[in-house]
């Protein structure tokens, strides 16, 4: 029974739960980004290349008939979009943390009184 209690305490620690939530949200976010890249951005950006190659689908864009360049380009676009969005999220979080740190620490009254006494003794 001791091992189960230890496991439950470990599993319910804040970091483990936060990581699990992050993974679940990341998976959902990944499908949104995949749809955005596959259905919106890729056709808009690569439409001229696809038309030049007489192709309708990005998956059929290949070099030498076997190297699937289209899927690789889509994967690069997905990575760039996810990385940029994560950058924006981290930047926003850091901005909020800086605002919290900017608040001046409150000096206790005893220290203020001791400083006044010290200053008056110096005179």
Q: What is the pLDDT of residue 101?
A: 62
Number of compact structural domains in the chain: 1
- The two three-digit tokens of residue 15, written as one number: 């970091």
- Domain extent for 51: 2-122
Torsion, CA 89, CA 90, CA 93, CA 95, rounded to 10:
-110
pLDDT exceeds 80 at position 117: yes
- Could you write out the DSSP letters of every residue in 73-88? HHHHHHHHHHHHHHHH
Q: Which residues have C-beta within 8 Å of that of residue 103, sequence separation ≥ 6?
A: none
Among 84, 89, 52, 49, which residue's Cα sits nearest to residue 70?
49
CATH number of the structural domain spanning residue 7: 1.10.1200
Q: What is the pLDDT of residue 118?
A: 92
80-111, pLDDT tens digit by residue?
Answer: 887 888 788 888 888 877 766 666 677 788 88
If you average pLDDT over every residue of the chain, what do you get?
Answer: 78
Cα-to-chain-centroid distance, residue 91: 9
pLDDT exceeds 80 at position 59: no
Q: Supply the angle between the helices 69-102 and 42-52 in degrees, to the nearest 10.
A: 160
pTM beyond cutoff 0.75: no
DSSP structure class, residue 66: T
pLDDT exceeds 70 at position 58: no
pLDDT exceeds 80 at position 3: yes
13-39, pLDDT tens digit by residue?
Answer: 767 777 777 888 888 888 887 788 777
């Amino acid at each position: 029974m001791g091992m189960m209690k230890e496991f439950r305490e470990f599993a319910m620690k804040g970091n483990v739960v936060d990581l699990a939530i992050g993974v679940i949200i990341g998976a959902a976010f990944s499908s949104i980004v995949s749809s955005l890249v596959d259905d919106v951005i890729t056709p808009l950006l690569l439409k001229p290349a696809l038309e030049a190659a007489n192709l309708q689908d990005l998956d059929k864009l290949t070099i030498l008939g076997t190297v699937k360049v289209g899927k690789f380009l889509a994967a690069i676009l997905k990575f760039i979009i996810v990385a940029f969005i994560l950058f924006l999220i981290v930047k926003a979080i850091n901005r909020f943390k800086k605002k919290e740190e900017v608040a001046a620490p409150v000096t206790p009254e005893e220290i203020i009184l001791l400083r006044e006494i010290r200053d008056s003794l110096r005179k």
